[in-house]
Amino acid sequence: LEVLQLLTCLNLSHNKLKSFTALDPLRLLKLLRVLDISNNEIGAHSIDTKDICVVPLYQTDEDVK
């Protein structure tokens, strides 16, 4: 994971992710600004994620504590 610390953009679309908790480790990537989670199965309820695409992420110093 140390090598990924400089990652700023990550495409996780079409990975059959089923929950946002699967994304929790990404909080450690302090430089990550863009995360694409489109076309996944996130959520207990039927949520249409096909229209969710590139979403900029903004973190403050307080968010990463």
pLDDT tens, residue by residue, 1-53 = 678 889 999 999 999 888 888 888 898 899 999 999 988 888 645 555 555 55
Q: What is the mean pLDDT of residues 54-65?
A: 57
- Which two three-digit tokens encode residue 9? 């953009």
The strand pair at 9-11 and 34-36 is best described as parallel
By three-state DSSP, how is residue 35 classified?
Answer: strand
pLDDT at 44: 47
7: Cβ contacts below 8 Å, ≥ 6 apart: 29, 31, 32
Gap between the Cα atoms of 4 and 39, Å rounded = 23
pLDDT at 57 over 70: no
- Which two three-digit tokens encode residue 53? 């695409």
CB 38 within 8 A of CB 51: yes
